[in-house]
Amino acid sequence: MKASTRLLTAAAFAIALPTAASAQTEINIVAFAPGFAWADMFGPSGTDKTDKLRAFEEATGITVNIEFADEETARQKVLLDLVNQTGTYDLVMLGSDGAVQTFSYAGYLEPLDDLLSTATEYFDPEAVYPQFLEANRVDGKLWALPYYSFGAGVIYRKDIFERYGIAEFPETTEALAGALDTIKAGLEKDGITDVYPLTMRGAPGEEPSLDLSGFVYAYAGYPAWFEGGATTPEEIRANDARPIFTGEFREGFEAFVEWSREYGPPGIATHTWVDMMNLYGAGQAVVLMPSAINGFAALGGTENTDVAEHTAFAPSPAGPSGLPVQSFWTFSVGVSAFSDNKEAAYKTLAFLTGEQAMQGFAETIGWPYSTFPAITRGEVLGEKWPAEMLDQIEASYEQADPHYFPYIPELNAFMERIGTAASEAISGSKTVDEALAELQAWAEERMERAGYYE
């Protein structure tokens, strides 16, 4: 074969190959937690394709490409992709504690309401706990579908509670504080210095804000961030509602800080959910709250038999307002507004968050949380967890107010600032009043700058 003929043949192959490949629509996703998220689709390494996924690809003509990164990197990839409007990722991972709100208001996400009817064979919105959809609804529109999600609750060591004479888990924050005092005194009396009554998260940044906002909600009885409990830009503008971080926000904030300082481990001001999980799993914490999911994560990997055998679940205690401490979150996925294949992207999203996918999550991970009642009540979770616990977890969804913090475009920045203020107060580098005064000044400036009070 002549050189020119070989060259021509190679060129023809080069042109033909991508053409053949493009017969399939490609959908790109960015997410975190390989081997945890969609392990039934992408395998334990996150790089495989299981038969389940291949069957979907064959049935729909959609090729699904997933890119896993660590959580922070994945968040930044999503941010940069959306801001630059590249559409590299058709489906983007979002949290219901900032990203859904910020990106939907900025116009970076595709509203899903009109698409819901196009893939009901995969995702039936009527079959989901409504609170998980509500968490992804901003300005009346649905912007993302929930995957792994959770409500508030408490994971605790029943054996240690009983050892110090506490038969039932307290139902109010006041009673719980009393119980934690008893446990702290008991541990000190017994000379146990490496077990702490409580573990929560107090690292700087957005980490503590989800749970801390739950305390504020339980103490004030409403999302006490802005005057009158305004939670949307429209309400804030209409009522000229100013931030109240030095007002009614304070009581819940102070409780969170005091509990962390009084009952938490010494390093709590730098602790993330991973530290919470590790500490509980190692048997060094008696109570983990209000994001009980981190306790279930600890149970999965613990080698401590006491932890494995004596852990119990309790509903989140009610604050002085009578409302329970909240911690409600959805790991959601949305369709990029810059995707070239929005319908195919939605179909893939419906498949990845639908009942089949959540069934796969229950089978591979086995945590007692699911977005579908049919799975909570199903065989897999029913065999693994006590019915009473599943009832309580289901009840926690019903008691949840997904909008227990405001749904404003600036939510990400607020979460970041609130968490850092909490970390400062817990570490003692600022008093509660100093931290809140600074937060209040920043919030006023930020809201002014965003044009809320013109």
Instruction: Using CB under 8 A, list all residues that contact another protein.
Output: 75-76, 79, 83, 102, 105-107, 194, 196, 202-206, 265-270, 272, 278-279, 282, 284, 409-410, 412-413, 416-417, 420-421, 423-430, 435, 438, 450
What is the 8-class DSSP label of residue 336?
B
Rg (CA), the chain: 24
Least distance to another protein, CB of residue 237, Å: 14
Least distance to another protein, CB of residue 269, Å: 4
Query: How are beta strands 145-150 and 329-335 bridged, if at all?
Result: antiparallel
Choose between 7 and 80: whose C-beta lies nearer to another protein: 80
209 Cβ contact partners less than 8 Å away, ≥ 6 residues apart = 97, 405, 414, 415, 416, 418, 419, 422
Which pair of tokens denotes residue 361? 């999550």
Choose between 27 and 93: whose C-beta lies nearer to another protein: 93
Query: In this structure, are residues 40 and 52 in contact, taking their beta carbons and an 8 Å threshold?
Result: yes
Choose between 352 and 421: whose C-beta lies nearer to another protein: 421
Least distance to another protein, CB of residue 184, Å: 16
- Map residue 32 onto helix, strand or coil: strand
Least distance to another protein, CB of residue 319, Å: 25
Choose between 110 and 401: whose C-beta lies nearer to another protein: 110
Least distance to another protein, CB of residue 444, Å: 13
Choose between 7 and 441: whose C-beta lies nearer to another protein: 441
Least distance to another protein, CB of residue 295, Å: 17
Choose between 85 and 120: whose C-beta lies nearer to another protein: 85
Which residue from 451, 435, 436, 411 is spatially nearest to 99, judged by alpha carbons? 411
CA 28/CA 89 separation, integer angstroms: 5
Contacts 24+ apart (CB under 8 A), 430-439: 432/250, 432/253, 432/254, 432/257, 433/246, 436/245, 436/246, 436/249, 436/250, 436/253, 437/246, 439/245
CA 291/CA 401 separation, integer angstroms: 15
**What is the residue type of 400?**
A
Compute the Cα dihedral for 272, 277, 280, 284 and give only its sign: negative
Q: From the CB of residue 208, how many other CB atoms can be counted at a distance below 10 Å? A: 30
Choose between 64 and 426: whose C-beta lies nearer to another protein: 426
Choose between 344 and 447: whose C-beta lies nearer to another protein: 447
Choose between 70 and 398: whose C-beta lies nearer to another protein: 70
Which pair of tokens denotes residue 342? 């929005």
Least distance to another protein, CB of residue 276, Å: 11
Least distance to another protein, CB of residue 348, Å: 25
- Map residue 267 onto helix, strand or coil: coil
Query: In this structure, are residues 417 and 264 in contact, taking their beta carbons and an 8 Å threshold?
Result: no
Contacts 24+ apart (CB under 8 A), 85-89: 85/338, 86/338, 87/336, 87/338, 87/339, 87/340, 88/28, 89/28, 89/29, 89/30, 89/336, 89/339
Least distance to another protein, CB of residue 416, Å: 4
